[in-house]
Amino acid sequence: MKALRSVLALVLSGAALWATETTPSVKDVPDRTQWFREARFGMFIHWGVYAVPAGEWQGKPVNGIGEWIMKNGKIPVADYRAFAKDFTAANYDPQAWARLAHTAGMKYVVITAKHHDGFALYDSAASDWNAVKASGAGRDLIAPLAQAVRAEGLKFGLYYSQAQDWNHPGGAKAGGKGSWDPAQDGDYDAYLQKVSLPQVREIIDRYDPAIIWWDTPMDMTRERVKPFADLLAAHPAIISNNRLGTGFKGDTKTPEQYIPPRGYPGELFEVCMTMNDTWGFKKNDTNWKSVRQILRNLSDISSKGGNFLLNVGPTADGRIPDASIERLEAVGRWMKVNSEAIYATEAGPFPRRLPWGRVTQKRAANGATTLFLHVWDWPADGKIVLPTVKQTPVSGKVLANGVDVKTTASPEGLVVALPGTATDADVSVVRLDFAAPVVVTQESFNTPDADGRITFSAQDADAHGSYDGNIQLRDSGLDAYLTDWKNPKWRLEYMLKTPVASKWTVTAEVAAPEATALLIAVGKTETPAAVAATGPGLTWSTVTLGVIDLPAGETSVELKGAPSGWKGLSLRHVWLTPIH
């Protein structure tokens, strides 16, 4: 009876995620999420028929991400289904895939059981459009990977597109809502009941996933969500994300292709990101992130208390691209040395990003605290500062070589003297052990300097992007800058605290190959700003953007792309100077 009550409690806790429309704080989540909170790093796999055209249709490239080629190319259902014969998985080696994830230091793997093209990677009784009955593979591709992943000691999860389906009649955003082929027309609710919900039951019953990763909840009302939520409530050990539909918060938030600038304090979140510009394989996409960028993304996300789900997109015959393998193996070498600064850590205690890197921490029940300093920019003088920290650690060392580090107190905070040179050109890690909780009194917002001016570095900007990307932080220290501002809807936010209401002049160090137009936003007030071309590439110039009014106290200033005249730019520093 006691065991039955425990199971009932877990079921009710899972149902609560649906019924109360709330996501619990980290301290309140049931133990079923413990492994997820400690894992920090996982592999996403997007694999399906879209890997056959690999970004081209009728001899021409199709814009957009690879797995959306059917929709973006408006490929008729019959023509798209014809690709399946060439989806052979001839070189598929699930053991090698699982081993690669393990080598990279990943703790879990999530693969697309069915994406928006409706193609299932297993033998589904709800639809013959699957790898066993309709493709050259002719076999279940999920089961061997699940077995291999678990054999490596990793958790196994499944992505499932519950609403959007371009092959089955009635799939959302197809029948009557953007369809391009009459074969897609049909009843949406019938699709959910006859295909989607039965397939979710299948993948749960057959593969016992630790994660169900929902996606694109098109037209998923409360009524449509309920049977899926009820099914999850009957399997309370499964972790799910927040993309099922209206009223369902799930266990995790899922920022896509961007890192939330301040994380989501007190909540579970998982940043999913590609290694190049696509999830599904595109043969001509060679815009690969560097190992440095991947490592610093992992460092940054961990410092905010989040997980990093990094994608690979295998070819139609089942090969993970060499560029992905090379990067994951390099990440694995770093993780062998520094993984304790990632696994089972919490967000660092500093409310503002540090100019030299990031911080994660571990706190023991007795109050003892370990800080892991992720040093991106090893200073020439060998000294970094932990702002406002007054305590002295009982010990400190560089993880890579075990060399001791020394610390001294200063008015600015704890000064850490780094020995020698960086042990890793991308991210070096220093461990500091304290006997008690580390107290940080740093202001959350930037405040005026002694001369009254407020200075923002590139690290001080909160970059707000969307599912299609974000403004990127490049380099570190004084050389850090913000770039790849590809979408005018993305924005930069600067948090500040001023003593009195007054007018301020806004200047910035920018690089603009073309003249561009911005908006400076304070609340609902937007001030136009014109920036002349500064020269090709990263030709930096300091320019005046305009004059703004700021209230007293805590507020924010945003830079946005103007609706017209926006051409993009890179940006390094921003200064606010009071007008007396």
Assigned token pair, 315: 């070819």
* Whether residue 275 sits in one domain with residue 240: yes
Q: What is the pLDDT at residue 2?
A: 38
Section 485-503 average pLDDT:
93
Mean pLDDT, the chain, rounded, equals 93
Q: What is the pLDDT of residues 404-442, one digit of tens each?
A: 999 999 999 999 999 999 999 999 999 999 999 999 999
Residue 447 lies in a domain: no
Residue 341 lies in a domain: no
Alpha-carbon distance of 69 to 180, in angstroms, equals: 13
Alpha-carbon distance of 444 to 438, in angstroms, equals: 16
Residue 534 lies in a domain: yes
Residue 443 lies in a domain: no
Q: What is the pLDDT at residue 101?
A: 98
For residues 328, 333, 339 and 343, what is the CA-based torsion angle, rounded to 10 degrees?
20
More confident residue, 11 or 57: 57
Question: Locate tokens 């309370």: which residue?
Answer: 236
Strand partners, 120: 114, 130
* Whether residue 315 sits in one domain with residue 193: yes
Q: What is the pLDDT of residues 380-412, one digit of tens each?
A: 999 999 999 999 999 999 999 999 999 999 999
Per-residue pLDDT band for 477 (boundaries 50, 70, 90) equals confident
Q: What is the pLDDT of residues 27-74, one digit of tens each?
A: 444 589 999 999 999 999 999 999 999 999 999 999 999 999 999 999
* Whether residue 423 sits in one domain with residue 313: no
* Whether residue 556 sits in one domain with residue 430: no
Residue 318 has pLDDT above 60, yes or no: yes
Residue 400 lies in a domain: yes
Section 428-457 average pLDDT:
94
The length of the chain, given as a count of residues: 580
Residue 445 lies in a domain: no
Residue 12 has pLDDT above 50, yes or no: no
Section 6-31 average pLDDT:
42
Per-residue pLDDT band for 175 (boundaries 50, 70, 90) equals low
Alpha-carbon distance of 43 to 61, in angstroms, equals: 27
22, exposed or middle or buried, with CB in 10 Å at 0-12, 13-18, 19+? exposed
Residue 530 lies in a domain: yes
Assigned token pair, 518: 């911005």
Strand partners, 509: 542
The number of C-alpha atoms within 13 Å of 435 and in the hemisphere containing its C-beta is 4
Assigned token pair, 434: 């304290």
Report the range of poorest mean pLDDT among 167-176, 204-213, 229-238, 279-288.
167-176
* Domain termination site, one of 282, 316, 336: 336
* Domain termination site, one of 365, 399, 434: 434
Section 94-111 average pLDDT:
98
- The helix/strand/coil state of 460 is helix
Indicate the DSSP class of residue 342. T
Angle of helix 94-103 versus helix 143-151 axis, rounded to 10: 40
Q: What is the pLDDT at residue 29?
A: 42
Q: What is the pLDDT at residue 413?
A: 97
> For 6, phi and psi rounded to 5 degrees?
-65, -45
> What is the H or E stretch that residue 345 is in?
none
* Whether residue 468 sits in one domain with residue 416: no
Report the range of poorest mean pLDDT among 221-225, 327-331, 459-463.
459-463
Closest to 304 (Cα-Cα) out of 350, 347, 260, 254? 347
Residue 358 has pLDDT above 50, yes or no: yes
* Whether residue 383 sits in one domain with residue 289: no
Q: What is the pLDDT at residue 24?
A: 37
Q: What is the CATH number of the domain that holds 62?
A: 3.20.20.80
Alpha-carbon distance of 360 to 204, in angstroms, equals: 35
Alpha-carbon distance of 126 to 206, in angstroms, equals: 14
Closest to 521 (Cα-Cα) out of 482, 566, 555, 480? 555
Residue 21 has pLDDT above 70, yes or no: no
DSSP string, 346-403: EE-S-SS-BTTEEEEEEE-TTS-EEEEEEESS--TTSEEEEET-----SEEEETTT--
Assigned token pair, 68: 């959306």
* Whether residue 236 sits in one domain with residue 116: yes
Residue 260: give the domain boundaries: 2-336
For the entire predicted model, the pTM comes to: 0.90
Instruction: Find the distance separating the first CA and the last CA of the chain, reported in whole Å.
Output: 74
Give me the percent of the chain exceeding a pLDDT of 90: 87
Residue 312 lies in a domain: yes
Buried b (16+ CB within 10 A) or exposed e, 480-501: bbbbbbebbebbbbbbbbbeee
Per-residue pLDDT band for 6 (boundaries 50, 70, 90) equals very low
Q: Domain count for the chain, please give it.
A: 3
* Whether residue 251 sits in one domain with residue 116: yes
Q: What is the CATH number of the domain that holds 361?
A: 2.60.40.1180
* Domain termination site, one of 284, 310, 336: 336
* Whether residue 356 sits in one domain with residue 238: no
* Whether residue 350 sits in one domain with residue 282: no
* Whether residue 236 sits in one domain with residue 331: yes
* Whether residue 331 sits in one domain with residue 352: no
Q: What is the pLDDT at residue 176?
A: 56
Residue 273 has pLDDT above 70, yes or no: yes
199 dihedral zone (left: phi>0; alpha: psi -120 to 50; beta):
alpha
Question: Locate tokens 């780094």: which residue?
Answer: 418
- The helix/strand/coil state of 2 is helix
Q: What is the CATH number of the domain that holds 508?
A: 2.60.120.260
